[in-house]
Amino acid sequence: MTPTGVVNIHVAEREKLRFERGSVWVRMSAPELGVIQPLTGLAKRAVTEFNHAVAREFAEYESTLDLQPFVDALVRWWSAFQKATRDAWAKRRWLTEEFIVEWDTSLGHAVSGTALSMNQRRALAARVSGVEAEAVNAAFGDWNVRSHAADQNNALVNLELIDERSFFDRIEKTPLTDEQARAVICFDNRVQLVAAAGSGKTSTMVAKAGWTIRKAHASGDEILLLAFNKAAAAELGERCIARLANADIPATGLRATTFHAFGLRVIGEATGEKPRLAPGLDKNNGVGLLADVVRALRRRSPEFAARWSLFQNVLGVPMSAEVDPEPDAWDPQRRRSGYRALNLDIMKSAGERAIANWLIKSGVEFEYERPYEINLADAQHSQYRPDFFYPSTGVYHEHWALVPGQAEPPGYEGYLESSAWKKRVHHANGTTLIETAARDLGSGSLFAQLEHQLRTTGIEPDFDPDRPVPGSPLLTDREMLNLFRTFLAHAKSNRLEPAHLRSRVSKARNGTPDLRESLFLDLFDDVREEWDSRLREANEVDFEDMLNQATDLVEAGRWMSPFRVVLVDEFQDASHARARLVKALVNRPAHFLFAVGDDWQSIYRFAGSDISAMTEFEETFGAGHMMRLERTFRSSQELSTLAGDFVMKNPNQLTKTVRSDRSHPAPVELAVVDTDAGVTDAIAQRLSELSAAVSEGSSLSVKILGRYRYEEELVPRTRYRGLDVTFQTVHSSKGLEADHVIIPGLNRGGFPSTKEDDPLLRLALPEGDDFPHAEERRLFYVALTRARDSVLLIARSGRESEFVTELISDGVISLLGDHEAGEAPERCPQCGRGLMVVRQGKYGPFLACNRFPACTSKRSITS
């Protein structure tokens, strides 16, 4: 390149090049080569630099003449790579991630040790041609192994879609779609198939098994099909055998099994002694076994019983010094929201309720907010009411809302001045005041301080876990057991020993561990030790220990897997232990994993499932392909879009766009009723309407889906012509479908459940999902997507679920009854999470937030 154009000179002709220099010009010439290039307007220094640049170019070019052995090595690599890809194409083989890494690495080795400048690379590229040029471009150009493999794989898919059309049309009862067929053809080492509800994932798995054998990737006895329960495994296995036989594909040795059965097989074959699972684990996830453990601990240890009761009655709900949980009661005398204690009194803060419940279980008589014994009311102030009064000793008790790191609580201007005034009142009048502070509740020192102060005033607290009380505990026995069983499953699955769990306990701002977490882990240590002790004594194992032991044996090479291809169904339900076992099985060359699932339908966290198996697939199993089945054969486009938009408000979910060929306008309706009897009436009305629309000789299926089993009591017992009506819990309905769905329990506190997302579980999970109601949101998505045509939601008036509030605010559901004209209640302007609904007061109707008493927003109705 010269300042006035490009001149190409072969290195062999360099000596013929001549330069003539004038005072302000240079002429580069080689008449016998046809080169006469004037370079005018150059300064003398520029002419010198130009001469040097030309010399450097020739020197670097000549240096490439010594690189012939390097070029020869590149040509050998290139030829071998070309042969490998041609052989794969001839055999219709996928260029896998393993193939890409192997050839990319070998190319790196071929290039390493030879450092070339950019000029040398350009010079080398200019010197070579033909296959040498292709090889040099592979090493230094814009070509790369991965893009080449992607292009060849894409071409293979397009070819197989045509050549194997008869296979894709016959392998299942209905022809596979292109996206299903593409997932079958893709035979990378790691393939994650994200399958929308009703998208035919089982058909794809059956076809994948048939394709594996048909294309000689593996024989039937080298394929492992894993499912999560016996029924699913049996159905998958039987369907594979039947459909492969129909397609004349040999399936000898092909079987589907559960993770649990497979884990037991591994241990038995590796050790010569098959373990015995503890009986009762299959029933309700072993909660009954845990109940026996807790009963034994409570009988044997008064200390454990006291700590269990303290957690259940005093610290059962999450709270901190800074933030209270939502109020759960209304105090009509004091006209304010609050927190109902075990004696049915309503406290103004969760911290005061915790103190009250401790006092009640300790047998300490008290009065809440009793007026001070001396009248201090004046024109500006009402009578002073200390938080607690102990009548047996005449002692008062103030619980200060003081939090760590702040002089006074946020939103309480003048709080310290008011506190100081109260202290002066007691000092001036000779009354005894004891004090506690919110900052001491989280650290755990509050109750010890309070007990000490009470004893110094002559009160002897005696905490009795079995002391009868009129109210209900913060957590029921069932909720306590479910929490501990879920935590146990995750702690074992993630191999978190007590020290690991303790290290995860958060610290208060003063460096002291959080009381609720510490108390829970104290109890959990005892429960876990007793649980494991019983297993050892009976020579039994639980699910998590069994899966961990099986994984250890595979990882250690004590059990050599005969399976080269592992197909896993419902992968969103995998626990960390299951994921580790799968990884161990495929963690060898020429092994393949095909994991099918839908993170939107991950709803079994209580049984140990960990959504990160889906959302962090490549981090766990290595690079591969993520594919999607986004066409649903079940729900209408309108319902698919509504349900998908709802679940995707959680940014932690994997993105997909569900498509449907069916349309059903306004697929989701809401009926608001006043009583439980109204729920039954609304169900009966919908069933009557559907029955009337069924033509003679036809039938419709209807599923009534409850968040809880007891909701079955709300279902009318009448039989309806042409309708097949069944009740199921939402959890048990996954994988099933119906023409129409009715969901009767869309009430606040019920669905979404307020007890399922306890932050304690994050201590046992690799990473918590902090999005509000994440698991419950997925559960509601499952309920919605069981329907082919329509969904009826039923909620109690004034207690509508947050999910209902959200759907109404988004304008995506139709309201029945009083709202047939399309008028939807407005979202609460104060909390943003509730609806403004009509209430009746002594002065007539008014609008109030349906999240009352958690939110007390209200206003008059204007004409």
Pairwise CA distance, residues 550 & 547, whole Å: 5
Pairwise CA distance, residues 54 & 184, whole Å: 58
Is 202 one of the annotated binding-site residues?
yes
Mode of pairing for the β-strands spanning 336-340 and 329-331: antiparallel
Pairwise CA distance, residues 753 & 606, whole Å: 13
Q: Which of 228, 246, 227, 247 is nearest to 237 (CA)?
A: 227
For every residue of 484-506, DSSP letters joined together read: HHHHHHHHHHTT--HHHHHHTS-
Pairwise CA distance, residues 682 & 793, whole Å: 10
Amino acid at 505: V
Is 729 one of the annotated binding-site residues?
no
Q: Look up residue 398 and give its two tokens.
A: 């103030």
Return the H-helix or E-strand segment holding 28.
strand 25-30
- 3-state SS assignment for residue 369: coil
Query: E-assigned strands of 544-655?
Result: 565-568, 592-597, 625-629, 631-632
Pairwise CA distance, residues 475 & 318, whole Å: 11
Burial class of residue 751, CB neighbours in 10 A (0-12, 13-18, 19+): buried
Pairwise CA distance, residues 73 & 79, whole Å: 10
Residues present in the chain in total: 863
Return the H-helix or E-strand segment holding 264.
helix 259-271
Return the H-helix or E-strand segment holding 103.
helix 97-111
- 3-state SS assignment for residue 120: helix
CB atoms under 10 Å from CB of 68, counted, come to 12
Mode of pairing for the β-strands spanning 336-340 and 592-597: unpaired
Place of tokens 């943003």: 832
Pairwise CA distance, residues 597 & 601, whole Å: 8
DSSP 333: T
Is 349 one of the annotated binding-site residues?
no
* Contacts (Cβ under 8 Å, ≥6 apart) of 525: 498
Q: Which of 534, 572, 463, 666 is nearest to 195 (CA)?
A: 572
Please report, to the nearest 10 degrees, the dihedral formed by the alpha carbons of residues 842, 847, 849, 855 taken in order: -50
Is 227 one of the annotated binding-site residues?
no
Is 200 one of the annotated binding-site residues?
yes
Is 198 one of the annotated binding-site residues?
yes
| Helix axes 302-313 and 515-537, enclosed angle (nearest 10) | 130
- Residue 202, CA distances (Å) to 86, 303, 800 in order: 33, 52, 36
Pick out the residues of the known binding site: 195-202
Binding residues for ATP, as ranges, are: 195-202
